[in-house]
Amino acid sequence: RPAARMSRGGAAEEPVLKKPAAASGPSGHVKSLCNKVAKALLASPEYPDEVKHMLANTVTGSLGEPKEKRHAIQDSTIDMVRQVMESLRAAAQSKLVEAETKLETVFKEDEERQKSVQTAAATLEERIKTADAAKSEHAKSTSARMAAKQALASAEQEQTTGNAGLAVAEEKKRRLETSLETIYGPIKSGEMPAAEAQDGIKKIEKLGKDLGFDASLLQTVPAAFAKAPSDRGSFDDLVMSQIEAELKKCLATLTDELANGEPAMKDRAAKVEAASNEHAQALASEEAAKTAKEASRTEQKEAETEHKAVLKAQQQAGSDMRAASAGVDAAKAELTELDEGAVAAFKELLEFTEIPPPAPIPAQEEQDPAPATDAAALAADAATPADAADAASA
């Protein structure tokens, strides 16, 4: 039998199973089968190199012998080879099962990713719609706020214009009341100091002029108002009373004007207040719409990011699917190669024999039963007396 050669480093090299020189050695076909088995043994990852080389070196001397010539020790060696071959096939089968399981897992993961892509796409579509609606709502609220601002400005302008005359009347009334109390009264009673009297008289003249008093009446004011009460004559008293009457008349007129203008002024104030409230509400609505728009835009971006991520994962899943499918194909090819190569060779060598198969039994020809009966009768008739005597003595 061939023995493993030793390299210079001392490690056993793969045996070269050469055909023995003797004419009675294995045939070329048997040697080829033995080499397939030996090569598979040497490729087994589960056993030490020494064990694999030992078994590989026994293949030709055990399996290469016809089964009817094998010794019990050769059969024992064959059992060890069988154990390694079974482990090789079990490992290849396990590898195939593992590859198929991985492919099934990847397929399920791909289905889940498909669902994730659909869900992410639907979510993105919904977020886009929400963002568009929020954008439109913000535009509407901005327009409403601008309209409310314009309405407020118009109400305020109307209030300013409508209240302008009343403001003037209010100011005149205030001046008039102040003048009656702080100037005319003290001058009339003589309680105003002489140093202040001239200034007070000028203010009365100015007030009378502003109120539209008769010019001739105003010309009499300085002389009459400058005198002490005890020095005033009847004309001076007349001037004083006429000025007082005009002041009170103007005061009454202004009071009526303000009273008559009060309802309209309140209406204008109410309009301004309402417009101001509407403007404040519009501002709040615009701010809320702006916040909602920004939030929806943020959610849309998040949905876009998620959609891109699941699409990328789906692309990776396609690559994983191809790799897993290739792994199954490779495992099947490896198992098929093992079954059709080393395993098939091992099985064929197990049944290897030099005993030729029995020759086939030729099929008997069918004969007509009637002629056979006739032949037996003829034979009986042809028997000689001697034959009959021999038969009787027998």
Q: What is the pLDDT of residues 233-245, one digit of tens each?
A: 999 889 989 988 9
Per-residue pLDDT band for 195 (boundaries 50, 70, 90) equals confident
End-to-end CA distance of the chain: 66
**Which residue in the block uniquely carries the two structure tokens 């028997």?**
383
Cα 54 from Cα 62, distance rounded (Å) = 12
Structure tokens at 136: 């439109």
Query: Between residues 188 and 385, which one has the greater pLDDT?
Result: 188
Per-residue pLDDT band for 257 (boundaries 50, 70, 90) equals confident
pLDDT computed for residue 15 by the predictor: 47
Give me the mean pLDDT over the 258-280 stretch.
92
CA angle 262, 264, 265 (to 5 degrees): 60
Cα 320 from Cα 322, distance rounded (Å) = 5
Cα within 13 Å of Cα(308), Cβ side? 6
CB-based contact 173:197 (threshold 8 Å) = no
DSSP state string for 178-205: HHIIIIIHHHHHT-S-HHHHHHHHHHHH
CB contact set of 187 (below 8 Å; sequence gap of 6+): 197, 200, 201, 204, 225
pLDDT computed for residue 379 by the predictor: 43
Cα 124 from Cα 118, distance rounded (Å) = 10
CA of 4: how far to CAs of 11, 12, 41, 132, in Å? 10, 6, 14, 81
Give me the mean pLDDT over the 219-228 stretch.
88
Cα 349 from Cα 27, distance rounded (Å) = 12
The alpha carbon dihedral of 346, 348, 350, 354 has a sign of negative
Give me the mean pLDDT over the 63-75 stretch.
93
Please, what is the average pLDDT of the chain? 84
Classified as helix, coil or strand, 6 is strand
Query: Between residues 382 and 333, which one has the greater pLDDT?
Result: 333
**Which residue in the block uniquely carries the two structure tokens 């070269």?**
16
**Which residue in the block uniquely carries the two structure tokens 């005033």?**
232
Give me the mean pLDDT over the 208-227 stretch.
88
Per-residue pLDDT band for 110 (boundaries 50, 70, 90) equals confident
Is the pLDDT confidence value at 77 over 60? yes
pLDDT computed for residue 131 by the predictor: 94
Per-residue pLDDT band for 25 (boundaries 50, 70, 90) equals low
**Which residue in the block uniquely carries the two structure tokens 């001046």?**
175
CB-based contact 343:89 (threshold 8 Å) = yes
pLDDT computed for residue 270 by the predictor: 94
> In this prediction, what percent of the chain has a pLDDT beyond 90?
50
Residue type (1 letter), 274: A
Per-residue pLDDT band for 367 (boundaries 50, 70, 90) equals low
Structure confidence by residue, pLDDT tens digits, 1-12: 444 444 444 444
Is the pLDDT confidence value at 365 over 80? no
